[in-house]
Amino acid sequence: MTDARPQSTDYRPDIDGLRAIAVLAVIFFHLHESLLPGGFVGVDVFFVISGFLITRNILREIECGAFSLLEFYRRRVKRIAPAMLVVVAVTLLFSQLLMLPEDARSASKSAFASVASLANVYFWLFTDKSYFAVSTRELPFLHLWSLGVEEQFYLLWPLALVLLYRPWGALRFAAGMLALAIGSFALAQALVADHPEFTYYMLPTRAGEFALGALVAIAVVKRAQPRWPSPAVAWLAAIGMTMLVGSLVLLRGRVPFPG
């Protein structure tokens, strides 16, 4: 029996290029903030890429009647869990050996939340902001907050596609995605001043980034993207890259974000 799922043979070097920029941006930012002040934006690039790739792959399988929720979740677990569990185990071991008892207990709690795909929820609710609190740079599992957001997206988004895409049709579904993106960005802007932790860590204020990627995926799957002449494509790519590099260089950690 042959596999009815569409095979992803259309390699996208532009996606790999964006991934490389995102990874390097985050690495340089964590090495020292002065090297790339806005390097934290690399996480947002990843969210848009995830929205695009996951939506594109699921829609292709839905179009040919081959999508399975269980198979999707199996592939996600197989791709993410092994590396994540190794990172959590090694980090937890060293945190117990090197940290003070109270800090080691906090690390254990955040490790448990990370394995449960709730790292972002944990750091939103339980990050100590008191005078004697340790710097967030010293929290060993803080980097897993973005994986928590991604995993929550993986849990909810396939269900939305299965339930809504065919009944609504591609055009209405795309309109819904645009409304979701606008609503998410508006929510982030409204909350970032008074609730910066929720705005930064939680899916509702990050969902717009996934939705933007999903909009592009719908256009690709339905072959609805406009046929731009080559010079226009080159100019659009240059403008997009300029905006991305500008964000990496000009944004600062003190700027309210996202917002």
Tens of pLDDT along 140-192? 999 999 999 999 999 999 999 999 998 899 999 999 999 999 999 999 999 99
Residue 65 lies in a domain: yes
Residue 98 lies in a domain: no
Residue 131 lies in a domain: no
Residue 70 lies in a domain: yes
Backbone phi, psi, residue 5, to 5°? -70, 140
Read off the pLDDT of each residue in 47-57 and give the average, rounded to a whole number.
96
- 167 lies in which domain range? 13-79+150-250
Counting residues of the chain whose pLDDT is more than 90, the rounded percentage is 75
Instruction: Tell me the C-alpha distance between 220 and 210, whole Å.
Output: 15
**213 near 49, Cβ under 8 Å?**
yes
Counting residues of the chain whose pLDDT is more than 70, the rounded percentage is 94
Instruction: Tell me the C-alpha distance between 208 and 87, whole Å.
Output: 29
Residue 176 lies in a domain: yes
Tens of pLDDT along 219-229? 999 887 677 78
Per the structure, how many domains does the chain have?
1
Residue 208 lies in a domain: yes
Residue 204 lies in a domain: yes
Tens of pLDDT along 203-216? 999 999 999 999 99
Instruction: Tell me the C-alpha distance between 136 and 237, whole Å.
Output: 36
**35 near 249, Cβ under 8 Å?**
no
